[in-house]
Amino acid sequence: MPKELQDEAIAAAGGPILQSVMIDILEKLPPAQRDAFQKALEAGDQKSIEALITANIPDPATFIGQSVEKAIAEFKSLRKA
Amino acid sequence: MDDPHDPITTKKSAEQWAKSFDKVEKAKAKTEEKKEVPVETNPGTSLTEPVVIDELTRRVREERKQEAMNRAQQGLEKELEHTVNVINAKDAHIAEAEGLLGELARRSNQEALTKQVDEDLKTAAGPAAAEKPAEDLKAWRKWFGPLAEIEEGSAPQEKKMFVPTPEQQKAVESIKAAAAAQEAANQKKAEKLGFWGTIKQVGSKFKDLPLLAAVKITEGLRSLVPKSRWGRATAVAAVGGILAAIYMRYNASPDMVDPGVVPPLEPAPTTPVTTEALPPIPTPEIFGGEAVVNAGDTVWGLVEERLAGNTTFAALDRAQQDFVLDSYMKHLQSLGESGVREFGIKSGDINVIHVGESLKMDKIADHSLFQGYVDQAEKLTIAQKANILKARQ
């Protein structure tokens, strides 16, 4: 498959995977912090986004890694279905 | 030290002192004589000569003072005029420089975005990135396109119109279907949280990314998986950077697309596509009134701005939207110089617009025109879309 077409396919997967990770993060955040996360997101405030994740999720790197893994597995299962 | 003018401390001989006194006395006597002699200057006045001299001297001084003031004022006025001219010239240079910088910024936007993605992902990968297992990444890509045949270091392939095989089309369609299904699942979860609006927006913004950026971000996300062995140490920074980037750096800018670079796919209609039963229906909801050109605007951007609020247009994917916009550009160009001037562009060239010009959007408010472009866009093949997206980069 030509690279362009392969890229198109890969890019198609990225949005939903990123959405899934965001949902996992939002679920972990205390309700009071979710609005703050949304505001930081809309402001493109990277530091605040990171601070909210780090402050509210234990071992956030592992959590995010597992979240991405889960999202990709879900994506693969949906493709097969 | 003695003051040479102090009569007490200056050492003079008695003779010298006597001469000095004589001189003083004589001078006094002369002065007294002058004061005592009245001099008639004008009839009826009793001014003495010294007074007249004093008065004349005062007047001359006044006149000279006035002249000096006038000269100073004239000098200041000239200086002020010069300063204003300098400021105006500087303003003009600044405006010109700003215009050039804006143009440069627009042109380098795409390049900057790509570089920024590289930076974000470099941060994400951390020092372990150097150990990135190429085979692992290759396997990941292969999953998306099992027929991957481009190897690193291979000779660049000849650029030609690619026609995917049915199997390849099926593979890509299945990926897109999986993406749509996952987004639907995400919607359910996000609605429960009350954040579907935010999550949906992230998805929309991701779709608007340049293809290369979207690929790099997807691969970057995938690199955060613990099993991939590389780059998970700074996962928080990676996700934070990607999200911030999507919102701040990749806010879709119409200026990122040069109307001249989208390759022709099918002959775009240069005249409205009409139906037999219905006359052309104006689309004031899209193109009513006029659009005033502001700094940094392009015709493409202004048309896209109007179309963005239309649900039919919004439902199209990025490549289809670009096709519709490109069709409008071709339609405008087909009007010729005079037609473009009637549209409100004094230069007669849609690529040369000026701040303050009012584009008469109702000139292209023909629903059948819009519908014709949308119909064509919906028939684009995957390969054609890939070409459009490639041109967008």
Query: By C-alpha distance, which of A20, A15, A68 is closest to B175?
Result: A15
User: pLDDT tens digit string along B185-221?
Assistant: 999 998 888 888 888 888 888 888 777 778 888 887 8
pLDDT at B155: 44
pLDDT at A19: 93
Distance CA B179, CA B9 (A): 111
The count of residues in chain B is: 393
- In chain B, what are the domain boundaries? 112-146+163-246, 259-392
Q: Going by C-beta distance under 8 Å and a sequence separation of 6 or more, which residues neighbour residue B140? A: B219, B222
pTM for the structure as a whole: 0.43
User: pLDDT tens digit string along B86-132?
Assistant: 888 877 777 777 777 766 665 555 565 556 656 655 555 444 444 45
Three-state DSSP state, B90: helix
pLDDT at A43 over 50: yes
Distance CA B296, CA B207 (A): 24
User: pLDDT tens digit string along B259-314?
Assistant: 333 333 334 344 443 333 333 334 445 666 788 888 788 888 888 888 877 778 87
Residue of B304 and A25 predicted with greater confidence: A25
Distance CA B151, CA B53 (A): 107
In this prediction the ipTM stands at 0.93
pLDDT, averaged across chain B = 71
- Residue span of the structural domain in which A65 resides: 3-80
Contact (CB<8Å) B239/A49 = yes
User: pLDDT tens digit string along B56-73?
Assistant: 888 888 888 888 888 888
The count of residues in chain A is: 81
Half-sphere exposure of B240 (CA within 13 A, CB side): 19
Contact (CB<8Å) A62/B181 = no
The DSSP string of B12-25 is --HHHHHHHHHHHH
Contact (CB<8Å) A8/B386 = yes
Distance CA A47, CA B101 (A): 29
Name the residue among A9, A12, A16 with its Cβ closest to that of B186.
A16
Three-state DSSP state, B205: helix
Contact (CB<8Å) A60/B382 = no
Contact residues, chain B, for A22 at CB < 8 Å = 198-199, 202, 243
pLDDT at B186: 92
> Which residue, chain included where needed, has tokens 């009245």?
B38
pLDDT at B248: 66
The total of structural domains in chain A comes to: 1
Q: Give how far Cα A24 sits from Cα of A53, A70, B60, B124, B345, Å.
A: 11, 10, 93, 19, 50
Give the pLDDT band (50/70/90) at residue A17. very high
